[in-house]
Chain A
Amino acid sequence: MNQEMTAGASKSSATAAKKHSKKPKYRLASEIQQELLEGSLKLKAAFGELSKAGRRLEDSRFTQQELPAWKPILTPAWVIAAFVLIGITFIPIGLASLFASERVVEIVDRYDDGCFFLNTNQSLLLDYIRNPKSNKTCTRRLTSLLFSVLSNLTTLIFQVPKKMRSPIYIYYQLGNFYQNHRRYVKSRSDKQLRSRKGEDEIKDCQPIAKSGEKPIVPCGLIAWSLFNDTYAFSLKNKALTVDKKDIAWKSDKEHKFGSDVYPKNFQSDGLIGGGKLNHSIPLSEQEDLMVWMRTAALPTFRKLYGKITVDLEANETITVVIQNNYNTYEFGGEKKLVLSTTSWIGGKNNFLGIAYLCVGGICLFLAINFILMYIFRPRGFYADAEEEEKDEEDY
Chain B
Amino acid sequence: MSNTLFDLATSCRVVLCCRVAPLQKAGIVDLIKSRTDDMTLAIGDGANDVSMIQMADVGVGICGQEGRQAVMASDFAMGQFRFLKRLLLVHGHWNYQRVGYLVLYNFYRNAVFVLMLFWYILFTAFSTTSALTDWSIPTIVVGILDKDLSDKTLLKYSKLYGAGHRHESYNMYLFWIMMIDTLWQSLVLFYIPVFTYSESTMDIWSMGSLWTIAVVVLVNVHLAMDIQRWVSFTHIAIWGSIIITYACVVVLDSIPYFPNYGTIYHLAKFPTYWLSILLITVLALLPRFIFKVIRQTFWPSDIQIAREAEILRKRRSPTRSW
Contact = CB atoms under 8 A, between A and B. Distances in A.
Interface stretch (A6-14, A173-181, A223-231, A270-278): A173-181
B131 to A, nearest CB: 15
A304 to B, nearest CB: 6
Interface stretch (B75-83, B111-119, B174-182, B302-310): B302-310
B272 A346 contact: yes
Give the interface size bracket for A toward B.
35 or more
Nearest to B210: A297
Interface string B182-223: 000000000010111111111111111000000000000000
A349 B198 contact: yes
B200 A182 contact: no
Contacts of B192: 355
B293 interface: yes
Max chain B Cβ within 10 angstroms of own Cβ: one of A71, A295, A300, A382 = A71
A194 B157 contact: no
B270 to A, nearest CB: 6
A346 B300 CA distance: 47
A117 interface: no
Contacts of A362: 286
B87 interface: no
Contacts of A71: 228-230, 307, 311
Contacts of A90: 282
B261 interface: yes
Interface string B283-304: 1001001101100111010000
Best-buried of B198, B199, B265, B297 by chain A (most CB within 10 Å): B199
- B interface bracket (residues with beta carbon within 8 Å of A): 35 or more
Contacts of B318: none
Contacts of A374: 297
Contacts of A346: 200, 270, 272
Residue from B159, B194, B206, B289 whose CB has the most chain A CB atoms within 10 Å? B289
B308 A302 contact: no
Interface string B115-126: 000000001111
12 contacts: A69-B230, A73-B312, A82-B289, A297-B202, A297-B204, A300-B198, A300-B199, A355-B283, A359-B279, A374-B297, A382-B308, A385-B309
Interface of B: 123-127, 145, 147, 156-157, 159, 192, 194-208, 228-233, 256-257, 259, 261-262, 265-266, 270-272, 275-276, 279, 282-283, 286, 289-290, 292-293, 296-298, 300, 305-313, 316
Given A185-B204, A298-B202, 12 more contacts: A65-B147, A74-B293, A180-B123, A190-B259, A255-B261, A297-B207, A301-B200, A349-B200, A359-B279, A370-B293, A384-B308, A392-B159
